[in-house]
Amino acid sequence: MSENKKQKQIILTGDRPTGRLHVGHYVGSLRRRVELQNSGNYDEIYIMIADAQALTDNAENPDKVRENVTQVALDYLSVGLDPAKSTLFIQSQIPELCELSFYYMNLVTVSRLQRNPTVKAEIQQRNFEASIPVGFFTYPISQTADITAFQATVVPVGEDQMPMLEQAKEIVHKFNTVYGETLTDPKIMLPENKYCMRLPGTDGKAKMSKSLGNCIYLSDTEEEVNKKIKTMFTDPLHLKVEDPGHLEGNTVFIYLEAFANDDHFAEFWPDYKNLDELKEHYTRGGLGDVKVKKFLGKVLQSELAPIRERRAQWEKDIDGVYEILKKGSEVAEAKAAETLAAVKKAMKIDYFG
């Protein structure tokens, strides 16, 4: 295949500015994004702060969304997303995304949207029941607009986004069948480590989520992190140190699976070579939760300290942060406009050339 025929490798992903980003985002998506960004294997990388999507279930809270745009941008820069390599932008500044959503709505049925398991769970979580905002109900369509506007080939996200990617692929297929080959078929990229796909909350609930208040935030201080680890859900049957411990549903061990590597053991707890050895001792009995939690605290501290330091630097330059978002939004809009033009042409609504 000749060089100019090779398909461009393009990443699109993002986060809702409904709160600061947490360690679930980090292992589920952020850590991977930074690796992909620095791999040099991608032609274009778009990272979106999904404020318009956040407003679909926060319509009455514009201040919350606005404030968290700043927080999420700070989190991005502090984990190592680099505006020289990745385009960081704000969703609402790209009006083309609304236009695309409007046309895609014709290609999706209400019953198809109702079947989306993530949306179903989120509706329950938010007690929407009979009063679901239309915008919230249709956000999988708007997310398809986000993905396709940038002709994304790869979407690195956590497991809860699988139904959104399926929906996006269906719309792409339908659009291309009806109007001719126009949109790029996106691929989901899930974390390789299964414990990172959906990190549970500190309360042991299925997902750490900004909307559930069970998070360890990337911007938490060392004291805050240690306090949260202290009260973390472990094994309710592990009452005495001598008792055998259980790993299933044990949040502390799930976090160790997601974060700890052999170097952490060498540095902080050389009694064990690796997590397997620690697990073996815990399940045999004779190892208390407090010790394991202390180790987890050290592991998280070593990961989060450099992130915290970079954040403190960027916090002194909020104007600079907004300059990055403004420039990024301009670049993103130009790309989305190209796709919208192709879409309108395919749909035969390009009347004036």
Residues at the interface with ligand ATP (CB under 6 A) = 15-16, 18, 24-25, 28-29, 157-158, 160-161, 198-199, 207-211
**CB of residue 316 vs ligand ATP: minimum separation in angstroms?**
26
Whether residue 189 contacts residue 32, with contact meaning beta carbons closer than 8 Å, is answered with yes
Token representation of residue 148: 């396709």
Query: Coil, strand, or helix at residue 170?
Result: helix
**CB of residue 7 vs ligand ATP: minimum separation in angstroms?**
23
DSSP-derived secondary structure letter, 8: P
Number of residue whose CB is nearest ligand ATP: 28
Cα separations in angstroms, 93 against 209, 219, 267: 26, 26, 46
Q: How many whole angstroms separate alpha carbon 101 and alpha carbon 91?
A: 13
Q: Which amino acid is at 10?
A: I
Rg of the chain on CA atoms, in Å: 22
**CB of residue 27 vs ligand ATP: minimum separation in angstroms?**
6
**CB of residue 347 vs ligand ATP: minimum separation in angstroms?**
30
Token representation of residue 349: 């609504």
Q: How many whole angstroms separate alpha carbon 248 and alpha carbon 224?
A: 26
Q: Which amino acid is at 50?
A: A
Nearer to ligand ATP, 172 or 196 (CB): 196
Nearer to ligand ATP, 142 or 161 (CB): 161
Nearer to ligand ATP, 140 or 158 (CB): 158
Token representation of residue 192: 């390789």
Whether residue 163 contacts residue 35, with contact meaning beta carbons closer than 8 Å, is answered with no
Nearer to ligand ATP, 117 or 285 (CB): 117
**CB of residue 126 vs ligand ATP: minimum separation in angstroms?**
9
**CB of residue 50 vs ligand ATP: minimum separation in angstroms?**
7
**Count of residues making up the chain:** 353
**What is the distance in angstroms between the CA of the first residue and the CA of the last residue of the chain?**
33
Nearer to ligand ATP, 169 or 344 (CB): 169
Nearer to ligand ATP, 136 or 295 (CB): 136
**CB of residue 15 vs ligand ATP: minimum separation in angstroms?**
4
Nearer to ligand ATP, 132 or 347 (CB): 132
